[in-house]
Amino acid sequence: MSSFRQRALDEFATHKAARFFVEERPVSEFFAQNVFGQEQMKKYLSQQAFEAVTAAIREGKKIDRSIADEVASGMKSWAVEMGATHYTHLFHPLTDSTAEKHESFIDRSKTGEVVENFKGEALVQQEPDASSFPNGGMRSTFEARGYTAWDPSSPAFILDQTLCIPTIFVSYTGEALDMKIPHLKSLEAINKAALNVLELFQNDVASVKVNLGIEQEYFIVDDALYRARPDLQICNRTLIGHTAAKDQQLEDHYFGAIPSRVTCFMKDFETEAYKLGIMLKTRHNEVAPNQFECAPLFCEANLTIDHNLLLMILMKKVAKKHRLKVIFHEKPFMGVNGSGKHCNWSMMTDKGENLLSPGTTPSTNLQFLSIFVSVIKAIYEHHYLMMASVASLNNYYRLGGNEAPPAVMSVFIGSTLDRILDSIENMTSPANEAKAKKERLDIVRLIPEILQDNTDRNRTSPFAFTGNRFEFRAVGSSVNAASSMYILNSIVAQQLNAFRSRVDKYIYEGTEKDEAVMKVIREYIIESKPIRFEGNGYSKEWQQEARKRGLKGIVNVPEAYKAFIDKKTIALFEEVGVLSKREIEAHYEIKNEIYTKKLQIEARVMGDLIINHIIPTAIKFQNSLIENARGIKELFSPEEADIMCEKQIRTIRKISRYINELREDVHDMIAARKEANVITDFTEKAALYTETVLPYMEKIRTNADKLEMIVDDELWPLPKYRELLFCR
Ligand code: ADP
Ligand code: MG
C-alpha cells in the first residue's frame, strides 16, 4: 500500500485509548475551581471591590481605576497560588476564532528582585500589536492601534497556567473590531426593548437577559489518518474522497453507543470544562458516523458564547492527548450530515420569568403572545439577513444537504400554537365586536391548557419554537455564534419597540389597553404569516412555496452578504445602537475577504492533491495495467490476447480520459484564480471567485472520486472515507 496511507493506518492501529487522569470526586466538588468566581472574589477582594465587580456584572456599571488595581492584585494572588505564571487578554476578532497574547507576571521590584506583579491597567486594558487582525479598513496604518478592554461580566479563568481575561477588542477610534461588542450591545438593546413591552403588563421588572444554550456538533478523526490528508489538515474538510459503501443510511449511529475511545476523550474534556465552570449536560452520537454532539445547560448569552469558544479550544487541546482530531467544519465529508451549532434562545426577567413560556392567566398570556409574535415578526422582516448571518464558504457546502436546514428562512411553531394564532387572526366580526372580543380573551385564557400536550418537533425548520425557547439551527459549527446572535437580538429588539409604539398609538386613540395589545398581536400575526411554515422544510414544494410567499433564499454567499449593507439593515443596527454604518461596512468587507481567501486556499490544496497525489497514482496503476496487457500479448495468440485484454484496455483509456480532464480542469481553475486575483474590489473578487473558481471544486472532485473507484486500493495515497469515518 502507499507508504503514506499505510503508515497512517499502522499508527492508528497503535492508538489505544489514552491514559488520562480520571477525576473521581463528584463534579460539584471541583466545578469552576479554575474560575475567578464569586467564592474566589469574596476571598481575595475587599468588600468594596467585590461589590464593584458584582455591580459591573449585574448592572453593567463601570469599575473605578483604583478598584481595578485592587481587583487585579486579588486576581493575581489567586492565579499565582493556582500555579499561573502568565496572563492574557482573550478576545474574539472577526475571524471566528479567539486571540490571545501572553505576558508573564514577573516584574523587577524597586530593589531589583523578581516579583509577581499585575496592575489594574494591565487588567483593564491592553494594546495588542494587532494590526494584522481583520479590520475591514477601519484602521488605516496611521491609527493602526487597537486595544482590548476587560469584560467583567465574563469571569477570568486559568487555562494552561495562564490567567485568561475575557475582553472586547476595539479600534483606537472606538469601532468594534470583534464580535463581542455588537453582541453585548444587542443584549442591552433587548433589555431596553423587552422592558418597554413588559411595562404594559407589570412594573417591577428591573432587567431582561437573553438565555442561550448551544448544542455543538463535531466530528472526530484519528490523528494519524488526519495527518495523512492534506485537505483535512489545511482546509478542515475533505476536498476529494468517494463516499463509503455504508455511512448513515441505516441510521444506526444517532444516539448509538459511543465508541469507547471517544468516551474517554469526552470524559476528559468534560472534566476540564467543569473546572472552567462550563455546565456540560448532554453528550451523544450524531447522525453521521464519527459525528457527535455536546451541549451545556443554557445560561446568560454573553457567557454562553465565551464558554462555547472556550469549549472548542479545550476540545482541540484534549483531543491531542487522545491522538484524535476534533473537526468543527460545517461539512467535512461529502454525502453525510454536516455540523451545526444549534442556538437555543429565550429571554428571562430578573425575577426568573421566561418570557417565552406561556403563563397561567389571560394577562400573562397576553404578555407571552406579545413577545412571541414580535419574535416571529422580527424573523419575517429580516428573514434574508438572518439567513445571510450564517452564510460562509463552509456552511455553503452544508446547507440544503441531508438533515441540515435549508437556505431559506421559515419559522415553525408547532400545530397547537399555529392553531391559536390562526384563530386569533380569524376572530374578527365587526358586526359583533363584543362577541369577538370575548372569544379572543377566551383563547388567551386557554393557552396553557392547550399547550400542555404540545410535543411537536420539526427538525427541518431553521427556526423552531420548542415549548419555551426558539432554536436557530442553521448556525455553522465552526463559527462564533455571536455573529448570528447579535443579529437575532437586534431584530427582536427593533420589533419589540415597534410593538410598544403601536399599542401606545391605539391607547392614545382611546382603545382600552388589553384590547389594544390584542389588536397589535393580531396585526403582527397577519403581517408575518408568510414566514410560518409547519411542513417539511427540505421538500422541493417548500422551495417553490417560499418563492411564492416572497421569502428570499440564499443563492450564493457573496450575494447573501449584500444583506449586511442593505439600507434596511443599516437602519436596523443604527436604530438599536448595535453597529454604526462604518462598522457594518467593515464587517461586510471582512466577510467577503475571508470567504475569498478560504476558497483560494481550498483551490490551491485541490490543485496540489490532483497534480501531486492523484494523477501520479493513477499513472502508476495505469502502467501496471499496460505491463500486464503487454505480458498477455507475449504469451498468447493475438486473437486470444485481444479478447483477454479488451476490458483492460478500456480501463487504460478511461484512466487517460480522467487524467486529461483533471489536468485540464486544474489548469483552467488556476487560470480562473489568476484572473480573479488581480481584481482589487473585494465584492467583485468574491463574486468572480464564486462564479469561476468554485464550480471547479465539484467538477474536479467528481473525476478524482471516480479514479478512487478504479485504482488499486494498495496504491491509493489518501485515507479513504471508510477509514476516516469508521476508525475509532
Ligand atoms: P435537543 O433535544 O434540541 O437536541 P439538547 O438537550 O441537546 O436538546 O439541547 C438543548 C439546549 O437548549 C441545552 O443547551 C439547554 O440547556 C437549552 N435550553 C433549554 N431551555 C432553554 C431556554 N429556556 N432558553 C435557552 N436555552 C434553553
Ligand atoms: Mg441535541
**pLDDT for 132:** 66
Across residues 628-650, what is the average pLDDT? 95
pLDDT band at 429 (very low <50, low <70, confident <90, very high): low
Q: Which of 6-15, 153-162, 407-416 bottoms out in mean pLDDT, i.e. has the lowest?
A: 6-15
Query: How confident is the model at residue 500, as a pLDDT?
Result: 98
User: Over 530-584, what HEC string results?
Assistant: HHECCCCCCCHHHHHHHHHCCCCCCCCHHHHHHHHHCHHHHHHHHHHCCCCHHHH
State the closest ligand 1 atom to the C-alpha of 293, by its place in the atom list counted from 1. 7
Return the ∠ at Cα 629 (arms to 625 and 631), rounded to 5°: 115
- Spatial separation of the C-alpha atoms in residues 555 and 714, rounded to whole Å: 41
Model confidence at 88: pLDDT above 90: yes
Mutate which of 344, 347, 356 to test ligand 1's pocket (most atoms within 8 Å of Cβ)? 344
Nearest alpha carbon to residue 387 among 397, 379, 375? 379
Is residue 428 within 8 Å of 542, Cβ to Cβ? no
Per the CB < 8 A criterion, the answer to whether 596 and 134 are in contact is: no
Q: How far apart are CA 403 and CA 125, in angstroms?
A: 44
Q: Count the Cβ atoms, other than its own, within 10 Å of residue 426.
A: 12
The ligand placed nearest to the CA atom of residue 278 is: 1
> What is the pLDDT averaged over residues 700-722?
96
Residue to probe by mutation, ligand 1, list 214, 215, 308, 355, most atoms within 8 Å of CB: 215
Dihedral sign (CA 183, 187, 190, 196)? negative
C-alpha of residue 465 to centroid of ligand 1, in Å: 11
The whole-number average pLDDT for the span 649-669 is: 98
Domain with CATH 3.30.590.10 in the chain: 215-239+248-338
Nearest atom within ligand 1 for CA of residue 298? 16
Cα(479) to centroid(ligand 1), Å: 19
Say which residue, 417 or 386, is predicted with more confidence. Answer: 386
Q: Which atom of ligand 1 is nearest to the CA of 357?
A: 23
Q: How far is CA 568 from CA 77, 434, 526, 590, in A?
A: 50, 39, 21, 20
Q: How far apart are CA 418 and CA 431, in angstroms?
A: 26
Taking the CA of 210 as reference, the closest ligand is 1
Higher pLDDT, 171 or 301: 301
Which atom of ligand 1 sits closest to the CA of residue 344?
A: 26
Task: Give the pLDDT confidence score for residue 446 in this predicted structure.
Answer: 65
Q: Where residue 524 falls among pLDDT bands split at 50, 70, 90?
A: very high
Task: Give pLDDT, residue 255.
Answer: 67
User: How do residues 583-623 score in pLDDT, each as one tens digit?
Assistant: 999 999 999 999 999 999 999 999 999 999 999 999 999 99
**Region 300-315 average pLDDT:** 97
Whether the predicted pLDDT of 135 surpasses 80: no
Output the average pLDDT for the chain.
Answer: 90
Residues forming CATH 1.20.120.1560 domain(s) in the chain: 594-724
Looking at residues 109-119, what average pLDDT do you find?
Answer: 90
Distance 197 CA to ligand 1 centre (A): 25
- What does the pLDDT look like over 249-292, one tens digit per residue? 777 776 677 788 899 999 999 999 999 999 999 988 888 889 99
Question: At CA 690, angle to CA 408 and CA 329, rounded to 5?
Answer: 65
3-state helix, strand, coil in the chain (%, to 5): 55, 15, 30
* pLDDT value for 100: 83
Sorting pLDDT into bands at 50, 70 and 90, what band is 130?
low
Mutate-to-test residue for ligand 1 from 298, 354, 355, highest number of ligand atoms within 8 A of CB: 298
User: What's the average model confidence in pLDDT over 410-428?
Assistant: 87
Q: How far is the CA of 238 from the centre of ligand 1 (A)?
A: 31
State pLDDT tens for residues 358-406. Answer: 877 766 789 999 999 999 999 999 999 999 999 999 999 998 544 455 5
Q: State the CATH class of domain 594-724.
A: mainly alpha
Intervals of CATH 3.10.20.70 along the chain: 23-178
Distance 507 CA to ligand 1 centre (A): 38
Report CA(534)–ligand 2 centroid distance (Å).
Answer: 20
Q: What does the alpha-carbon distance between residue 578 and residue 182 come to, in Å, rounded to a whole number? A: 5
- Average pLDDT, integer, range 678-707: 96
The string of pLDDT tens digits covering residues 455-514 is 567 778 899 999 899 999 999 999 999 999 999 999 999 999 999 999 999 999 999 999
Dist CA 222 CA 243 (whole Å): 18
User: In the CATH hierarchy, which fold is given to the domain comprising 23-178?
Assistant: Ubiquitin-like (UB roll) (3.10.20)
**Ligand 1 centroid from CA 451, angstroms:** 18
pLDDT (0 to 100) of residue 403: 44
Residue 129 has pLDDT above 70, yes or no: no
- Residue 705 confidence (pLDDT) above 90: yes
Q: Does 17 have pLDDT greater than 70?
A: no
Closest residue by Cα to residue 575 from 507, 516, 489: 489
Considering the domain 215-239+248-338 in this protein, what is its CATH number? 3.30.590.10
Q: Given the CA of residue 354, which atom of ligand 1 is nearest to it?
A: 23
Residues 654-667 as b/e (b if ≥16 CB within 10 A, e otherwise) read ebeebbeebeebbe
Residues with CB under 6 A from ligand 1: 211-213, 215, 282, 295-298, 344-346, 354, 468-469
Strand partners, 116: 106
Going by alpha carbons, the residue nearest to atom 6 of ligand 1 is 282
The ligand that comes nearest to the alpha carbon of residue 356 is 1
Q: Is the dihedral of CA 553, 559, 564, 568 positive or negative?
A: negative
Give the residue-averaged pLDDT of 173-187: 92
Q: For residue 531, how far is its CA from the centre of ligand 2 (angstroms)?
A: 24
